[in-house]
């Protein structure tokens, strides 16, 4: 599982970073993969309100935010951590929040469903110097709206007042323990999921569709990854089109090799679609061969047939009835 931390304080080793690092350290200790993104030192421009995301579904600004979109999509848990600057998050964090409009558009303009959306959790950590009664109100509201835009349920916040000097949070009687406990509570339900690795040749059509359906139908019980024996440069645009017809959003996915998929850890099951040669890399791991033809280079009609076949197979593999998707 993957926990993404968004660190919004410009102060090196400030209070926010101490809180977030404690959360992530506990998550790692429990077995999660984590990443602490130092948002305050990234080059993320504010949204220009150009409207491209609402017309085309992506943000054209070529800066560090382009690395953040796929991470937001991969995360099981997203932790936004920011000090209060003038009753809101820092400007650096606010730029990232505004740029998530590109993901908001995919959901609310294009009506597409990110397959991880149902299961992803969002959490806020924040500190401020004063005792103001409403100190965190604006930031909590903003966090709720941000998490909805990026496809995560808001799971609450831990906020600390009267934290001003760089190490004040370390003197707080309960903060670091509370953060650890929260990390345990959030991470634990994700830990015992069965791991399924879907493999095909290019990791551009079949294994991508299978992993998306599996995540969509069973992301609470299974953790999925996909890879290819000879990964292509990008996922197949026809595959994306065919999945769009099912309201499933395949944005920000890139083909990867079995080696690149290694952080996923040892799978409990490998499902291969024309890529049996990966089995020796996982001695002792049970496997299944799905005899699904490669739709690469074929028509959209053929892609649809393969998509529907894979959806049926995934639903019976994970033992769920196909549910109606909300769009
Ligand atoms: C530009 C700026 C604006 C701030 N605005 C507020 C504020 O509105 N309310 C407040 O309680 N603290 C405010 N603070 C104080 C910080 O929230 C506080 O020092 C916090 O501990 C900094 O966290 P950090 O160490 O993670 O950077 C402000 C600090 C700065 C530099």
- State the sign of the Cα–Cα–Cα–Cα dihedral 323, 227, 302, 291: negative
Instruction: State the Rg of the chain over Cα.
Output: 21
Tens digit of each residue's pLDDT (9 = 90 or more) over 247-281:
999 999 999 999 999 888 899 999 999 877 788 88
Residue 142 Cα distances to 32, 123, 137, 237, angstroms? 27, 12, 9, 34
57 Cβ below 6 A of ligand 1 = no
Tens digit of each residue's pLDDT (9 = 90 or more) over 299-321:
999 999 999 999 999 999 988 65
Six-digit token string for 261 = 């998929």
139 Cβ below 6 A of ligand 1 = no
**Residue 143: pLDDT band with limits 50, 70, 90:** very high
Residue 85 C-alpha to ligand 1 middle, in angstroms?
A: 5
* Alpha-carbon span 132 to 143, nearest angstrom: 19
Tens digit of each residue's pLDDT (9 = 90 or more) over 48-91:
999 999 999 999 999 999 999 999 999 999 999 999 999 999 99
Residue nearest to atom 17 of ligand 1 (CA): 128
pLDDT at 288 over 70: yes
User: Is the Cβ–Cβ distance between 172 and 163 less than 8 Å?
Assistant: yes
Residue 78 C-alpha to ligand 1 middle, in angstroms?
A: 22
Question: Which residues are registered as beta bridge partners of 107?
Answer: none
pLDDT at 327 over 80: no
Residue 130 C-alpha to ligand 1 middle, in angstroms?
A: 8
| Residue that the structure tokens 């998306």 belong to | 212
CA neighbor of 81 nearest in space, from 148, 136, 2 = 136
Report the percentage of the chain scoring pLDDT > 70.
98
* Alpha-carbon span 186 to 183, nearest angstrom: 5
Residue nearest to atom 28 of ligand 1 (CA): 85
* Alpha-carbon span 155 to 318, nearest angstrom: 27
* Alpha-carbon span 10 to 130, nearest angstrom: 19
Q: Which of 7, 9, 21, 84 to mutate to test the pocket of ligand 1 (most atoms within 8 A of CB)?
A: 84
- State the sign of the Cα–Cα–Cα–Cα dihedral 248, 253, 254, 260: negative
């Amino acid at each position: 599982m993957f926990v993404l931390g968004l660190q919004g304080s410009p102060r090196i080793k400030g209070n926010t970073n101490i809180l977030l690092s404690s959360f992530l350290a506990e998550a790692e200790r429990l077995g999660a993969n984590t990443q602490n993104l130092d948002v305050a030192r990234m080059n993320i421009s504010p949204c220009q309100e150009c409207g491209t995301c609402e017309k085309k579904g992506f943000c054209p600004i070529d800066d560090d935010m382009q690395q953040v979109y796929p991470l937001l999509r991969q995360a099981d848990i997203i932790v936004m951590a920011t000090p209060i600057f003038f009753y809101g998050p820092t400007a650096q964090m606010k730029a990232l929040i505004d740029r998530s409009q590109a993901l908001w558009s995919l959901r609310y303009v294009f009506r597409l469903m990110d397959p991880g959306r149902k299961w992803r959790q969002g959490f806020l950590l924040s500190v401020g110097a004063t005792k103001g009664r409403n100190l965190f109100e604006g930031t909590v509201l903003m966090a709720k709206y941000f998490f909805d835009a990026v496809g995560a349920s808001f799971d609450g916040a831990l906020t600390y007042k009267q934290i001003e000097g760089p190490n004040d949070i370390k003197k707080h009687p309960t903060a670091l323990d509370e953060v650890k406990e929260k990390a345990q509570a959030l991470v634990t339900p994700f830990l015992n999921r069965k791991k399924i690795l879907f493999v095909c040749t290019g990791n551009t059509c079949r294994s991508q569709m299978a992993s998306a359906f599996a995540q969509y139908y069973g992301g609470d019980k299974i953790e999925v990854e996909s890879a290819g024996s000879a990964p292509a440069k990008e996922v197949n645009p026809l595959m994306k089109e065919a999945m769009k017809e099912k309201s499933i959003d395949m944005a920000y996915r890139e083909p990867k090799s079995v080696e690149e998929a290694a952080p996923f850890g040892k799978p409990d099951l490998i499902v291969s679609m024309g890529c049996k040669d990966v089995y020796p890399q996982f001695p002792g791991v049970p496997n299944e061969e799905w005899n699904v033809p490669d739709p690469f280079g074929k028509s959209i009609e053929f892609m649809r047939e393969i998509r529907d076949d894979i959806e049926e197979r995934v639903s019976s593999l994970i033992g769920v009835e196909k549910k109606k998707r909300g769009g």
